[in-house]
Amino acid sequence: MQKVMPLRIQFGTVCQLLDVTREALRHTIRKDPTFPAPLKMGTTKQAPVFFDYQELLEWHNSKKEAAAAQVEA
């Protein structure tokens, strides 16, 4: 049986996956233009915020590749 991967991940779960605080994630969102844009599910201020799982993986892999390239240089 194939494992089902999530399509979207909640803000708090992204913090756990990246091992950062909520404020550190907010800072990354503001300062890193390559970080995936949050998806707000609703129009109210309290509407939940999610991130696309695949976009997060691609961002993470690009950061790993960039770090590896710096080590090799």
pLDDT tens for each residue of 8-29 = 999 999 999 999 999 999 999 9
Return the pLDDT at 14.
96
Return the pLDDT at 73.
67
Task: Name the pTM for this structure.
Answer: 0.80
What single-letter DSSP state applies at residue 45? T
